[in-house]
Structure 1
């Protein structure tokens, strides 16, 4: 039986590893020479793929036609590659199980390894439970908890998991991640406000999940007492 090609899919908690998405695209040619395929041609493409999977185009200020088909196109390029593939969809970290399944369905037949980057205080129990169940094998979920979630540390940690060195792949010329770019028009300003609002909603969803978990734990401890 032929060995399945590996795919390393990065997802990240808010503020932990956002640079990976842009760094992969920026160093696309160099990574191919290192034996790693980068299917994404732009960070915008991976961002729109995420918005499509989460069905949140309206919340981010996009028309449906602007996001529809992005993930299908991107996943087709994954299949066309011959080497290990790397992708970064940071906003997918807190996705629901149905959303995760929809994403991974396009990669069925490949050996998908999920790399979850997180800060020191992120509560990951429910997030890792969802992604772990989706990839099915524990060794295919790699949790990278960054005590100092700086861009350089996140980039180096991801490269180590995915199997490539980052010493020659600097970040000085890497564009800012989507959502952290300068605003040049009123339309871009509107989009940026909507994107920031959506990021806040993501943080609120994560906070609500943590609150529910704490309440359940408190109730269990009370029952034991």
Structure 2
């Protein structure tokens, strides 16, 4: 029997591990040389896929149509590859069991490993129970908890779990991720607002591009008719 390809799915929680989502996108081409497939072409794709799975499109200001099919697209790319797959959807740590099952359905037939990256003092017992039950085997659930979780250390730890080295995959040019976490000062709140504004601008560009593609396709179909 052929050995199943592995998928290492990072699901958060939001915080130190947010860098993983951005780093996988930034180093997507380089990862291929290390035997790793990273299906996501942008952080917006994984963000929208997470929103779709959680059914939170309205809360984020999207229509259902704008997020529909995002997760399926990532899954199709994962299936097309031939190497170990890595994905990061850091909004999904707190997903319910039905939402987790829906997510994993798209990866049926692949050997899914789930990676959690909590803060040193964060209680993740409930998350471990839900995700552990979903992947069924304890060796397929990885809890990466570091005493000093800097982006570089978290990125390195994730690479070790997934089977690739990060020495050649630096973070200097990786865009700073947007995190959703408790804020402890006014300055921190201001920085968070700035990060969210950047995410909104990015999503607006994605939506504008999608609109252009839809209009172009509609025009093409009209000329054919």
TM value normalised by structure 2: 0.80
Q: How many angstroms does 1:106 deviate by?
A: 0.6
- The aligned residue for residue 204 of structure 1 is none
Structure 2 portions without partners, runs of 5+: 180-191, 205-225
**Alignment CA distance shift 1:184-1:145 (3 Å):** closer
**Aligned to 1:10, what secondary structure does the other structure show?**
strand
- The aligned residue for residue 195 of structure 1 is none
2:37 paired with 1:37: yes
2:205 paired with 1:183: no
- The aligned residue for residue 130 of structure 1 is 130
**Aligned to 1:157, what secondary structure does the other structure show?**
helix
In 1, the alpha carbon distance for the partners of 2:146 and 2:154 equals: 7
Paired positions, count? 190
- Flag as ranges the 4+ runs of structure 1 deviating above 3 A: 178-185
* 1:55-95, Cα deviation, whole Å (9 max, x unpaired): 00111111212111100111011111100000001111111
Q: How many angstroms does 1:11 deviate by?
A: 1.2
**Alignment CA distance shift 1:30-1:140 (3 Å):** same
In 1, the alpha carbon distance for the partners of 2:87 and 2:23 equals: 11
**Aligned to 2:116, what secondary structure does the other structure show?**
strand
* 1:19-78, Cα deviation, whole Å (9 max, x unpaired): 100000100111001110011111100010000000001111112121111001110111
- The answer to whether the Cα contact below 8 Å between 1:13 and 1:122 also exists between their aligned partners in 2 is no
**Alignment CA distance shift 1:184-1:55 (3 Å):** closer
**Alignment CA distance shift 1:162-1:184 (3 Å):** closer
* 1:85-127, Cα deviation, whole Å (9 max, x unpaired): 0000111111111100000011011000011111111101110
Structure 1 portions without partners, runs of 5+: 192-225
TM value normalised by structure 1: 0.80
- The aligned residue for residue 166 of structure 1 is 166
Q: How many angstroms does 1:148 deviate by?
A: 1.7
CA RMSD of aligned residues (A): 2.0
In 1, the alpha carbon distance for the partners of 2:29 and 2:35 equals: 10
- The answer to whether the Cα contact below 8 Å between 2:178 and 2:196 also exists between their aligned partners in 1 is no
In 1, the alpha carbon distance for the partners of 2:196 and 2:55 equals: 26
